[in-house]
Amino acid sequence: MFIFITDAFAQAQNAAQGQQGGSLLTGFLVPMLAMIVIFYFILIRPQQKKEKERKQLLESIQKGDKVLTVAGIYGVVVNIKPEENIVVLKIADNTKVEFARSAIQSKLS
């Protein structure tokens, strides 16, 4: 007899949840959407902004600019090969090294 009571109780709970299913759905969707929006503004948007600034930096490099590479080498831009995305840096007297344009970390003043 106890088994029938628990089954009836479970069915009554399911019926009650069916009536409140809409609020349960919005109770789940609203926090999830809020988390996605927060995730976008905290992580994705700043990263896109930083990448855009880096792209502008790499495009603005000209001959005579002093730069720092990702490897920590300081040099002066001697030549740029845009079709190959290569930058030739003078790092010492009579020493020129070719780097990928993407290997430049920052432009020094």
Nearest-5° angle of CA 44, CA 47, CA 51? Answer: 135
Classify residue 67 by burial, with Cβ atoms within 10 Å: 0-12, 13-18, 19+.
buried
Report d(CA 14, CA 69) in Å as an integer. Answer: 64
pLDDT in tens, 20-66: 555 767 788 888 999 999 999 999 999 999 999 999 999 999 999 99
Q: What's the mean pLDDT when you consider all of the chain?
A: 85
- pLDDT for 48: 95
Q: Which fold has domain 61-109?
A: SH3 type barrels. (2.30.30)
pLDDT of residue 69: 95
| pLDDT of 81 over the 70 cut | yes
